[in-house]
């Protein structure tokens, strides 16, 4: 009898251990990693926490209650005193983020929760960082219906020490796309319905995850990342528009690897990366985001091709494609990445260095955005309400 009872107890302990192992899904592999910095980006209903690491890390994560918190145990990791180990957040979503040396091999990062409705996490590389996205409760659903303005976040790729692709005549992608973005903002701002933000307005460096965080913080209706394409094949030219998803297309993977600043080998290996896989899956299912991104990408692509082909014949239409771009990962709104021409192609580099061509591209992007908004019934309704309200 006594023996049975202790056996039963052992079983309960073992099974609860098993359950906690299932709930605390382990992450991925590697060795001695330094926790270098912890940052957060907050708005009323969104928080992104970024844990900067010296390399790829294996981790366990778990959400527990009383009090509600999420913790990540980073294996073979260490944290030094120069890092702020308690980060007060207090934004209604998180109270704070704490990090400590849990034992000789493990750093524990704890997110103290105030109130969340949803959360997600993933690791991106070069530099390695663990990113945790958290959503607040029921604040966003109302805002989009009553929001009279169309809030657009434009992201000119690269900047600062990252020139992006460089053309044969040394034209820098970072300068071209910034100029197009500034022109695009100017055009969009002519319509008082549009509220436009740029992730960068000058030649500064901005990590990819901060660009997405800006769009999420602004509660944007659209997120558009502007880039110029490049290929070792100097003949390659044309326009293509991307949305976030998995792909087996080698060419699309090459483009994403270059924009993510990782190797093609790492890009291929990412398909086995559990956290990114899950993030994309939940991300695309959310609020018809995928359908809306497809729609937006199609309008933009068509608009560029028809817009520039009037003046500049023979612009090749590569259509809408999909790939795993870090900059689109975790964006809460319809989001696309436009490769507006090939800077590596001598003819298209000439075009991209031409003021008029950049203006045409900006105009075409603005038209694509406008067509998208006009096709969106919810936003259309708000526009009508606002119009009648003004009469």
Q: Between residues 95 and 227, which has the closer beta carbon with respect to Zn ion?
A: 227
Can you tell me the distance from the alpha carbon of 384 to that of 132, in angstroms, rounded to the nearest whole number? 38
Is 203 within 8 Å of 319 (Cβ atoms)? no
Q: Between residues 75 and 227, which has the closer beta carbon with respect to Zn ion?
A: 227
Can you tell me the distance from the alpha carbon of 316 to that of 341, in angstroms, rounded to the nearest whole number? 9
Binds Zn ion (CB under 5 A): choice among 156, 157, 238, 330 = 157
What backbone torsions phi and psi does residue 173 show, to the nearest 5 degrees? -55, -45
Q: Does the footprint of Zn ion cover residue 227 (CB under 5 A)?
A: yes
The C-alpha torsion from 21 through 63 and 134 to 139, rounded to 10°, is 130
Binds Zn ion (CB under 5 A): choice among 27, 136, 156, 164 = 164
Q: Between residues 79 and 323, which has the closer beta carbon with respect to Zn ion?
A: 323
Query: Kind and range of the H or E element at 96?
Result: strand 94-103
Give the range of 39-47, 132-140, 214-222, 253-261 binding Zn ion by CB under 5 A: 253-261
Give the range of 64-72, 151-159, 191-199, 376-384 binding Zn ion by CB under 5 A: 151-159
Q: Does the footprint of Zn ion cover residue 159 (CB under 5 A)?
A: no
Q: Does the footprint of Zn ion cover residue 174 (CB under 5 A)?
A: no
CB of 340 to Zn ion, least distance (A): 10
Q: Between residues 158 and 185, which has the closer beta carbon with respect to Zn ion?
A: 158
Which string of DSSP letters, residue by residue, matches 191-229?
STTEEEEES-SSS----HHHHHHHHHHTT-SEEEEEEEE
Residue the block writes with tokens 């959310």: 286
Q: Between residues 227 and 358, which has the closer beta carbon with respect to Zn ion?
A: 227
Q: Which residue is nearest to Zn ion (CB)?
A: 227
Regarding beta strands 46-53 and 33-43, do their DSSP bridges make them parallel or antiparallel, or are they unpaired? antiparallel
CB of 41 to Zn ion, least distance (A): 22
Give the range of 124-132, 158-166, 215-223, 315-323 binding Zn ion by CB under 5 A: 158-166
R_g (Cα) of the chain, nearest Å: 23
DSSP character at residue 275: H
Q: Between residues 60 and 175, which has the closer beta carbon with respect to Zn ion?
A: 175
Q: Residue 336 is encoded by which pair of tokens?
A: 């696309």
Number of residues that bind Zn ion (CB under 5 A): 4
CB of 164 to Zn ion, least distance (A): 4
Give the range of 193-201, 219-227, 277-285, 359-367 binding Zn ion by CB under 5 A: 219-227
Can you tell me the distance from the alpha carbon of 128 to that of 158, in angstroms, rounded to the nearest whole number? 18
**Residue 234 burial (CB count, 10 A):** 14
Q: Between residues 135 and 227, which has the closer beta carbon with respect to Zn ion?
A: 227
Q: How far is CA 131 from the centre of its chain?
A: 10
CB of 326 to Zn ion, least distance (A): 11
DSSP character at residue 272: G
Which residues contact Zn ion (rule: CB under 5 A)?
Answer: 157, 164, 227, 259
């Amino acid at each position: 009898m006594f023996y049975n009872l202790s056996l039963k107890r052992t079983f309960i302990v073992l099974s609860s251990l098993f359950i906690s192992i299932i709930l605390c899904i382990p992450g991925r592999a590697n060795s001695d990693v330094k926790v270098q910095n912890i940052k957060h980006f907050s708005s009323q209903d969104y928080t992104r926490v970024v844990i900067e690491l010296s390399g790829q890390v294996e981790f366990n994560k778990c959400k527990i209650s009383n009090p509600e918190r999420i913790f990540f145990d980073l294996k073979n990791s260490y944290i030094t005193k120069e890092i702020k180990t308690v980060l007060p957040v207090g934004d209604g979503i998180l109270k704070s983020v704490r990090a400590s040396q849990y034992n000789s091999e493990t750093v524990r990062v704890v997110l103290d929760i105030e109130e969340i409705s949803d959360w997600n996490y993933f690791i991106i590389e070069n530099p390695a960082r663990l990113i945790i996205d958290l959503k607040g409760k029921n604040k966003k659903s109302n805002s989009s219906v009553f929001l009279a303005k169309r809030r657009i976040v434009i992201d000119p790729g690269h900047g600062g020490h990252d020139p992006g692709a460089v053309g044969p005549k040394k034209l820098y992608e970072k300068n071209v796309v910034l100029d197009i973005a500034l022109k695009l903002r100017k055009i969009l701002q002519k319509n008082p319905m549009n509220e436009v933000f740029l992730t960068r307005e000058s030649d500064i460096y901005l990590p990819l995850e901060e660009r997405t965080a800006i769009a999420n913080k602004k509660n944007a209706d659209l997120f558009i990342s502007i880039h110029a394409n490049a290929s070792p094949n100097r003949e390659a030219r044309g326009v293509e528009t991307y949305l976030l998803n998995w792909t087996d297309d080698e060419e699309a993977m090459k483009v994403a690897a270059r924009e993510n600043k990782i190797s093609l080998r790492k890009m291929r290996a990412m398909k086995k990366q559990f956290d990114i896989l899950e993030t994309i899956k939940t991300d695309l299912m959310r609020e018809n985001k995928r359908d809306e991104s497809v729609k937006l990408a199609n309008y933009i692509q068509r608009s560029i091709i028809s817009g520039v082909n009037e003046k500049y014949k023979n612009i090749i239409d590569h259509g809408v494609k999909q790939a795993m771009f870090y900059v689109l990962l975790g964006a809460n709104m319809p989001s696309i990445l436009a490769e507006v021409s090939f800077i590596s192609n001598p003819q298209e580099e000439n075009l991209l260095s031409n003021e008029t061509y950049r203006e045409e591209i900006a105009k075409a992007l603005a038209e694509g955005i406008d067509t998208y908004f006009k096709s969106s019934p919810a936003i259309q309704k708000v526009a009508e309400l606002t119009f009648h309200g003004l009469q």
